[in-house]
Amino acid sequence: MKFTRITVDPNQMGGVPCIKDIRIPVSTIVGRIADGMAIAEILDAYPDLVLEDIQESLRYAAEAVRERELPLRTAGFHALMLDSQ
């Protein structure tokens, strides 16, 4: 998958993935959505963003998660850990 709106440059923002030319990290956009912020609210809060930036940030995040195995704890494991304390 090719991302045209996102750049990763070690000389900008510590090399974190950002929206091209405006240095807003992808994680900021994805985090706002995860916190329940509506797309219209994000666009109002970050006037340099356009809808396509948000859409590509979500695609980028999905691809990043797809590329690696993330450790997830099951409810049973969590309950077991609480019981052992």
pLDDT at 81 over 70: no
Residue 57: predicted pLDDT? 97
Per-residue pLDDT at 7 exceeds 70 = yes
Report the chain's mean pLDDT, rounded to a whole number: 86
* Domains detected in the chain: 6-83 (1.10.10.10)
For 33-70, write each residue's pLDDT tens digit.
Answer: 999 999 999 999 999 999 999 999 999 999 988 867 66
CA distances to 8, 79, 81, 83 from 76, rounded to whole Å, are 38, 5, 9, 10
Identify the pLDDT of residue 1.
74
